[in-house]
Chain A
Amino acid sequence: QVQLQESGPGVVKPSQTLSLTCSVSGGPFTSGSSYWSWIRQPAGRGLEWIGRIYNSGTTNYNPSLKSRITMSVDTSKNQFSLKLNSVTAADTAIYYCARVNSYYDADGYYYGWYFDLWGRGTLVSVSS
């Protein structure tokens, strides 16, 4: 059974870089058309999509964060990573990694994609 696990520092100082890694275990990392994604959630608030990365390294970022984000993938380690620079208190949140999967029917008709597996999340606080 595929599992995702986030790891990284729980506290980051303002203006520094937040770095997180998501480790994928229990199943194939490079099969199909899967993307991998990061989502965050400030305490008591809703979910914000950060970005996604394909196994090839192709990325899509949320425009609101694009200037500060770098995502990367290491297929040899079954991991993908997020770097968010110049952090402020507004970046304090639970950060989730998730697998993106797509649905095609038997005739090849595309129905869209969705987050079908999530990590448990890791709390990152921005504080001096």
Chain B
Amino acid sequence: DIQLTQSPSSLSASVGDRVTITCRASQSILTYLNWYQQKPGQAPVLLIYAASFLHGGVPSRFSGGSSGTGFTLTISSLQPEDSATYYCQQSDSAPFNFGPGTKVDIK
């Protein structure tokens, strides 16, 4: 099975800060990597697919990148509504695991 790790597990940042979350795969998954945002009591919402494509309706302050087996989700200017847990997920091979999540809080 492909394992996904995320770092950090949690972070606290101020409004307007640039925030970067990293997801690393245990083996090559090309760019078959998606990012989701989940707020408390809600279902996850797709942010980024195929490592770097912004899903429709998602604010442009979110962006995704990749290098080898490492992937990043960047929020260019953190907003209060971005307080949530962020998960990466691989779609390369079954089981299509999620990362353990990164909780983002606003200072």
Contact = CB atoms under 8 A, between A and B. Distances in A.
Interface in A87-128: 96, 103, 111-116, 118-121
B91 A113 contact: yes
A49 B95 contact: yes
A27 interface: no
A62 B94 contact: yes
A119 B44 CA distance: 9
A120 B43 contact: yes
B34 to A, nearest CB: 4
Interface residues of A, number: 22
Contacts of B89: 47, 49, 114-115
Nearest to B42: A120
B77 to A, nearest CB: 25
B100 A46 contact: yes
A121 B79 CA distance: 26
B45 A46 contact: no
A113 B91 CA distance: 6
B31 A114 contact: no
A113 B49 CA distance: 8
Tell me the interface secondary structure of chain B in the complex: loop
Interface residues of B, number: 29
A33 interface: no
A74 interface: no
A103 B36 CA distance: 16
B32 A96 contact: no
Interface of A: 46-49, 52, 60-64, 96, 103, 111-116, 118-121
Interface of B: 1, 30-34, 36, 38, 42-46, 49-50, 53, 55, 87, 89, 91-92, 94-101
Top 6 A-B pairs ranked by shortest CB distance? A111-B50, A114-B49, A118-B43, A112-B32, A47-B98, A114-B34
19 contacts: A46-B87, A47-B44, A48-B98, A60-B94, A62-B94, A63-B1, A64-B95, A96-B43, A112-B31, A113-B32, A113-B91, A114-B46, A114-B50, A114-B89, A115-B34, A115-B36, A115-B44, A115-B89, A120-B42
